[in-house]
Amino acid sequence: MKKLGVCIPFAKGTFNSFLPISVKNTIVVGDPITFEKAIDPENVTAKELNHAHDMFVVALTKIFDDNKEVSERAL
Alpha helices (H) along 1-75: 46-74
pLDDT for 72: 63
Pairwise CA distance, residues 13 & 20, whole Å: 5
Is 7 or 73 the better-scoring residue by pLDDT?
7
Report the pLDDT averaged over residues 29-51. Answer: 89
Report the pLDDT averaged over residues 30-44. Answer: 88
pLDDT for 5: 83
Report the pLDDT averaged over residues 37-56. Answer: 90
pLDDT of residue 50 exceeding 90, the answer is yes
Report the pLDDT averaged over residues 36-50. Answer: 88
